[in-house]
Amino acid sequence: MFAVDVGGTFTDVVAVINGRIETAKVSTSYADTAAPVLEGAEILGVADAPVFNHASTHGLNAVITRNLPKIGFLTTDGHRDILDMGRVWRPATAILDPSWRRSFGDASRPLVPRYLRRGIAERLLADGSVLFELDEDQARQQLEVLGRCNVEGIAVCLLNAYVNPDHEIRLRELVHEVLGDVACSISSEVSPLAKEYARASTTVIDAFMKIIYGDYTHRLDHGLKGLGFSGQLNFADCAATLVPADRAMEQPFRIVFSGPSAGTVASAHFGNLIGATNLLCADIGGTSCDISVVVDGSPFVNTSFELEHDLVVNALANDITAIGAGGGSLVTIGPTGEIQVGPGSAGADPGPACYGRGGTQPTTTDTCLLIGIIDAESFAGGTIELDREKAVAAFEGLDCDFSFRQRVRYAYDMAINNISEGLLNVAIKNGVDPRDYTLVAYGAAGPMLLPAVLDTVRCKEVLIPPYPGLFSALGLLAADQVYTANRSAYTILSPEEASGIDRIFAEMEAQLRERLEGDASVTFERSFDGHLVGQSWDTPFVPVPDGTIDALAVEQMIASFHDTYQARSGNRFDQFPVQGVTFRVRAVQDTDKVEYPELPGREDDAGPVPTRTTTLSYLGALDDPDEAGQAATVFDRESLRRGDVIEGPSIIAERLSTTHVGEGQQAIVGRYGEIVIRKK
C-alpha cells in the first residue's frame, strides 16, 4: 500500500511493503507538483501496490496565495455581489477595528473579480416553482462577455437551485455551447444545500479545483502507470476518507483540505491500537501547528469549514484549527520592545537563518539549534547542514535591549507559550479537559516542541508515534473509502412527512449504489441536520434509523434530535417541534489498514545506551551568568526497545525528527515503538 501527502515544503511518501513501513521525503516542486510524487513512488517501488492514496495542500495553497485560474461566476440577476457580502461576520479580533476588510472581498483579494461575476435573468421561488423563466439569450450574451475575458471555468449558483436544478442544468449546457469544453460547476450538484452564500462559495472553490487538479490528476495517473502501477488511485477528502480519483474529480472541492485531516485519522487509528481514545492532536511543521481532537476514538467532524475567515466550503471535514507556530516561525521584536514569535514564517525559501540560504531573521529552528535540541550535523537525516554562526548573527541582529541569553530563552518560551495557548483554546472550544487527554505530537517539529507544554496544558502524557515526520501520510493508510450524498429539504418532522423523508433517503442511497462496485461490502450510515422550529443554527449528524422511514421512525428521529441537542448544548426542549434541514447518507467501504510492527523488548537488563552527551543551553536560571546548562544524553530512536525508560533531560534523534525529553520528565517506549512522555 502506498500513500503520499503533498505539503508546501516536502512531499511525504510512505509504503507498506511485506509488512514493513518504508518512507521517503522529497522536496515539493511548485513548477510540477506531480514530479516529486512520482519520484517518491519510484524510490519506494510502486509497481506492485494495490492502492495509492493521495492527499495534498496544493489546492489550499493556491487559494491562500491567490495563485488561481480565471473563472466566471453566474448567479441570479441582482445577486452578483453575494461572494463579497459573505455572511457579514467579523472575527472576534476585528469587531472594534474600523479598517478591517474581508480577505476575499473586492477591497483586497477577490476570488472572482466583480467584472467576472454576471447576473442571469431568471428566478426560482423557495419551493422550486418558477417565477421568471431562464432568459437564454441574455445568458448567452453574458457568457460571450466572459469568453472575451478568457475565463478557464464557470461557477453557477442560482437562488433556490438546490430545490429545482433545471435552470442550472440548462445554464451548464449553454456554457459548453458558448465557451466550449471549459470546467463548469453548478451548485445543485456540488452542494445542494440551503443558504445561498455557502453554496456559492463552495461552487466557486469546486470550479477552481477542477482546473487545478484536472491536469494534475491526468499527469499523476499517467506517470504512475509508467512506473508499472495498476492499482486503485484514491484521493483523500477533507475528512481524510478515500474516494477513487475519477470520482473525486467530479466534486474536487471535497479534497481541498485533505492534508491536515489525514494526521487526525492517523492519530485516531494509532490511539485505538494502544487503547488511547481521547486525544489532542498537534501537527507541527515548518509554518503552522494544526490542532484537532479525537473523542472516544473518533475525530470531531464538521459539516463545513473555512479556508479563510468566512470563506466557507460545504464539505464534511475534520475539525482542524491552525495557528502560526512552526519550526520556521519568525522571531521578531514587537512595538514595545518585546520578543514575539510567529505567526510569520521563513518558509522553505529562504528558510531559517541557520539554513544558510539567505535568511537573516531568527526562527524557532534557530532557537532550538542554539539551545542544543537540534544537532547541526544530523538535522533532516544529514541532508541539511545547519550553520550555527548564522543563527547567532540573526539573534544578535534583533533590535532590542535583551542580552543574548535572554533573546534565545524568551524566543523559546514564547514559541512554547503560543502552542500551549492554541491547544488550550481548542480544548475549551470543544469542551474537553486536557487532563483526561493524551497529546499526540507529530510533524517534523512536533516531538521537539510539544513535550515542553506539559507544564502548561497539563495533558496526562505526550505520545510520539512512529515516523512522526510522515505521520499524516500514514493516516491515508488508515482511512476508509467513503461515498457521501446530502440534500436539503426543510421539513417539520411529523408522521405525515414520513413518506417524503423515506423517498429522500431512498434516492440518495440509490445514487450511492450506482457508484459502488456490485460486490462491494458497504455500510450505509444515515443522519440529518436539524433545529428546533424558529432556530437558525442546525444540530448536525443526528442519527436516523435504517429501513423504511415510517411514523415510528420519525418519532425515533425526533427523540434522537433531542438527545443529540442535549449532549451538545446541555439543554433539552421536548415541547418544541423539530425541523429537518439537511439529510445525509454515507456509504462506508472498509479498506486494508496499516499495521504497525511490534517492537521487541530487550533480552537483558542493560537498558538503552546513549550515543553521546550534549549540553542544553539557556534553559536554566537567566539571572545566573555562570549557569553551565543542562547535561543531556542523546539516544538513537532506532536502537530503542519496548519497555526502555529514558530520564530527562534527553534527546531522542531519528532521521526526520527530534524528540526533546525535558528536565523532570520520563519517556517510556511502548509496544509499537511509540514514545510516551510523562512528568515524574
**For residues 237-241, average pLDDT:** 89
pLDDT tier, 520 (very low <50, low <70, confident <90, very high otherwise): low
Cα distances (angstroms) measured from residue 554 to each of 231, 495, 504, 557: 43, 6, 13, 5
pLDDT at 647 over 80: yes
pLDDT at 629 over 90: no
Pick the range with the lowest mean pLDDT from 5-9, 76-80, 572-576, 615-619: 5-9
* C-alpha span between 678 and 680 (Å, rounded): 6
DSSP 313-333: E-S-EE--EEES-STTEEEEE
DSSP 37-105: HHHHHHHHT-TT-SEEEEEESHHHHHHHHT----EEEEEETT-TTHHHHTT----GGGTT-TT---TTS
pLDDT digits (tens, 9 = 90+) for 38-57: 999 999 998 888 999 999 88
Helix (H, G, I), strand (E, B) or coil at 355: helix
* C-alpha span between 667 and 417 (Å, rounded): 22
pLDDT tier, 590 (very low <50, low <70, confident <90, very high otherwise): confident
Cell triple for 646: 529514558
Say if residues 652 and 667 touch (Cβ distance below 8 Å). Answer: yes
pLDDT at position 228, please? 92
* C-alpha span between 434 and 456 (Å, rounded): 10
pLDDT at 259 over 90: no
- Residues 6 or more apart whose CB falls under 8 angstroms from that of 615 comprise 372, 628, 629, 630, 631, 632
The better pLDDT of the pair 195, 378 is held by 195
pLDDT at position 452, please? 96
pLDDT exceeding 90 applies to what percent of the chain? 62
pLDDT digits (tens, 9 = 90+) for 424-462: 999 998 888 999 999 999 998 999 999 999 989 999 999
The better pLDDT of the pair 590, 548 is held by 548
**Number of CB atoms found within 10 A of residue 604's CB:** 5
Say if residues 419 and 457 touch (Cβ distance below 8 Å). Answer: no
* C-alpha span between 409 and 302 (Å, rounded): 39
Tell me: cis bond preceding 350? Omega within 30 of 0 counts.
yes
- Long-range own/partner contacts, residues 170-174 (CB < 8 A, 24 or more apart): 170/134, 170/136, 171/74, 171/120, 171/134, 171/139, 174/136, 174/139, 174/140, 174/143
pLDDT at position 11, please? 84
404-429 vs 364-371: helix crossing angle, rounded to 10: 120
* C-alpha span between 626 and 612 (Å, rounded): 24
Helix H or strand E encompassing 187:
helix 187-190
pLDDT digits (tens, 9 = 90+) for 139-187: 999 999 999 999 999 999 999 999 999 999 999 999 999 999 999 999 9
Give the bridge partners for 184, in sequence order. Answer: 154
pLDDT at position 373, please? 95
Nearest one of 422, 429, 410 to 456, comparing CA atoms: 422
Q: Measured between alpha carbons, how far apart are the two ends of the chain, in Å?
A: 40
* C-alpha span between 174 and 74 (Å, rounded): 12
Place of cell 449546457: 173
* C-alpha span between 265 and 283 (Å, rounded): 12
pLDDT at position 518, please? 58
* C-alpha span between 552 and 569 (Å, rounded): 26
Average pLDDT, the chain: 91
* C-alpha span between 264 and 426 (Å, rounded): 14
Give the chain's largest Cα–Cα span.
Answer: 85
Say if residues 281 and 267 touch (Cβ distance below 8 Å). Answer: yes
**For residues 209-223, average pLDDT:** 92
- Residues 6 or more apart whose CB falls under 8 angstroms from that of 331 comprise 339, 340, 341, 361, 362, 363, 364, 366, 367, 394, 395, 398, 407, 411, 414
Residue type, 415: A
Length of the chain: 680
The beta-strand segments (E) located in 515-604 are: 522-532, 539-543, 578-589
pLDDT at position 519, please? 58
Give me the torsion for CA of 282, 364, 324, 400, rounded to 10°: 150
pLDDT at position 345, please? 83
pLDDT at position 516, please? 77
Q: What angle do CA 591, 238, 439 make, to 5 degrees?
A: 85
Say if residues 276 and 670 touch (Cβ distance below 8 Å). Answer: no
**For residues 80-105, average pLDDT:** 86
pLDDT at position 122, please? 97
